[in-house]
Structure 1
Amino acid sequence: MSIIGKSSSPWTISLPHELLTLDTTDRLRVDTKSIELASRDFGKIVQEYPLAVLHPSSANDIATLVNFSYNSHVPFSISARGRGHSVRGQALAKNGVVVVEMTCLTSYSEESGIRVFRNPNEIGFSYADVGGGQFWIDVLVATLEHGLAPVSWTDYLYLTVGGTLSNAGISGQSFRYGPQISNVHEMDVVTGKGELVTCSKYTNPDLFYAVLGGLGQFGIITRARIALDKAPNRVKWMRMLYHDFSSFTRDQEHLISIHGLDYVEGSLIMHQSPPNNWRSSFFSLSDQSKINSLVSKHGLIYCLEVVKYYDDLTMNTVDEELRMLIKGLSFLRSFIFVKDESFIDFLNRVRNGERQLEAQGLWDVPHPWLNLFVPKSGIMDFNAGVFIDIIQKQNKTTGPVLVYPLNKNK
C-alpha cells in the first residue's frame, strides 16, 4: 500500500503540496488499488476517481483533513465512505478528491468501538455508543450479549452506522419506531469547518437534525449514541398474498394503525420477480409452485409480510396473539405462510442471499435502485401507473420491489 509522497502514482501530481505536511500524511493512500476501490459504489453506474484516500485512525484525523480543506486557498471536497452503498456516486469524491474510509476507524481507538450501557432500572434508557464506521451487524451482536438491541433497522446489516444515519435507515420496523435517525440520542460530528462537535436535540440541535438524514452534506458522523431496548429471542414471520391492491394496501394501513406487530412490509411477486429472490428464501418448493400458478393467473401478486417478536415469557401466547392481529384481513385464505426464526437470523436474512449471488458471480453488477415516499392519497394511482402499466406490462424489472407502510408521525 503506497504512502503519499513516496508513490509514483499520477494522482499525486494534483494533490495540494501543503497536504504532505499534515500529521495524517502516512494515512493517505494513493496506490492504484485504493484509488480504484474508492472510485465505485454499490450502484456501479457512476465512476469518479479520487486523488487520494484517507484511512483515519481517529476522528481527529478526519477533522484535520476537513479543516485543512476549509482553510486552503484551493479547497477540495471530501466524501465519507462506509460500504459505498449509494447508487449514483453519492459516496464518491467527485472530480478527484479525498475519500475518507470510515470502516478503518473500527481498527483503532475505543472511541470508534461499540460500548453498551444497560440501565437495569429504567426500560428504554439503555444505549450503545457506536463508532460511525461500525457495521450494524456488529452492533446487533454486541448488544445481544447484554440482552438488548436497537429497535429500528435496515433490511441489510452490513452497512455502517454513520452511512445509514446520513440517509434515514428504513425497514419494516419504521412504522412503529420511525427510521434509524429517530432513535439516536447524541452524535459526535466533524463539521464542514473541521470542528469535532458533540450534538443532540438539546445541544447544538441545528447540527443534530441537519446531519441525521443529511446525506453527508452537513458533517461526518464519527460516533452515535443509539437507543436500545430489550431484545426478543425469536420471531414469528408471516406472509400473506393478495391479487387486489386496494385490499393489500388497506390491510397494510390497518396493521400499522394498531399495536402488536413489530415489522410490516410488502412486496410484488411476478414472473420476472419470483416468490423467492436473493433477499429471502422464505417459501418451500411446493409453496413456490402453488404461488407461481397464482401469478400465471393474475400476472401480479402483492405479498404482505408481518413479524411478531417473542421470548420465553410469550412463547406460549404468540401464535394466538398473531391470529387475533390478522383477524379480518382480506388476504387469499389458502395463501398464508408462517416461519419461526431466531431474531438475529431474521434481521440478517439478506446477507445469505448476497453470499449466494457472490458465489455465482452475479453480485458484482450494476444495481440501479430507487426509493420513493408516496402519500396515501396517491398510492392507488401509483399502483395503476407504475406497478401495473410499467412493471407488469412492460416486464422490464428483475429485482425486488418493496412497499413499506409508514406512519407520518414517525
Structure 2
Amino acid sequence: MALCQASEVYLRRSATPSHQDEKILKAALANYGRAVTLLRHKLASSKYVPSESATATSSALATFDLLIADGADDKIGHSASFAHFEACKCFLEAQSQNPSSTPTTIARAFFQDYCRFELFRVCSLGKLNAVTASICENTYWSGMEPFSLAPLPSNYASLQRASHEIDLRLARLTQYVRELRDGDDISASQVTALADLLLEFENLPAENETLHQVRVVPTRNIAERHIVPVSFDFDSPHWPMLIHYWATLLTLVRLCLLIDFLARKEHHLSWLDEDKTAKLVATQQRAVSNLLMSRQYAFDRSIVARLQVVHPLVLVWATLAGKSTTPQGLPVVTMKQWILTQLQRSGVSFLRDWTGRDLDNATEIFEIPDRLKQQKPPD
C-alpha cells in the first residue's frame, strides 16, 4: 500500500512539480512507518530466520524512499533507501553462506539489482566511497544464471550474460580506480589485469545481430536532429537489456582509458598500445551513439522506461570531459546542454534542478585527479 501511494505521489509531482498532494503523502508515510515497524519486529524476533519475504519488503521500502525523496541529491545520498539496500545485501550475504543451495529466482533478481544500484551510486551520483569489491564476486553468485522474467532469444541472452560477467567485477575495478586516483599504494599491473579480463566479455557479434533487428527512424524532433539525427525504434520487450549492455560497456571503457592514463603517468606502465586504444575509443563512440539513439524510444514511454536511459545519459556526459567538440564535430557545450535538458525532463525528481556542476561532481570517478589535470586527459 505504501509503495502504491508513493508511486502516486511521485507521478503527480513529476507531472506538476509545484503540486504536492499532502493527503496521499501523509497516508503513504503512515503506511511506510507501519511497514518499517513490522519489519523491525520481525527481524528482532528470536524466531526470525532470514527469508526472501523480508528482503522483498526491504527492497520495496528502498523503492519507497527513492520515490518520496524530496529531490536534492544530498537527500538521495543520505536516504534511508540505502539502509534498506544494505538489508538486502545482508540477505544476499547470508544466502551465499549456504553453498549447497542454488540461488532462487527472487534472490537472483535482488542480486542483479543490488550490483547495479551500487554502481549507479558511484557512476551517476558521485558516491565514490559507496562501492567496494563485495558480494558481487562471491562464487555462489558468480556462477548463477542471470535473472530474466521470460526466456530470451539467444542474442539477448548472450548480451545479458556479458553484462552480468562485467557487473560482477566492476565493483572491484571501480575500487581499484579510486585507489589509483587517490595515489594509494596499489599495483597498476593488478588493475590492468582485471581490466583486460573484463574487456574480453564484450560481445560484438551478439550486439550486431541484435541491432540488425532494430528499426532506425528519423529523430522526431527536428530541432534535435543536429545532435541525434536518427533514433532506434525497438520492437522487442527486451530492449532495456541492450541499453544496460551498452551502459556497462561504456562504463568499462571509460575506466580503462583512465586506468591507462594513470598507469602511464604515475606508474610508468605502458598498458594499451595504439591499436588497443583506438579500439577502445571506437567502442566508446559506438556505445555513446547507440545510447543517444535509444533516448527517444525510452522517453516516449513510461517513467520506468525513461529510467532506463538516465544512467546512460550521465555516462555520456562523462565522455565529454576535457573536450571542445564531439567526434561528430558538435560543440561539447551544445551536447552537454542537451543532455542536461533531457535529464531534467526525465521525470526523475532529484535531477530536475541539477546543473552542469552537479553532473561533473556525479561523474567524478571518471575524472583525472587534480594533480594531473594539466596533462593530456584520456580520449
Q: TM-score, normalised by structure 2?
A: 0.27
Greater percentage in helix: 2
Larger Rg: 1
Greater percentage in strand: 1
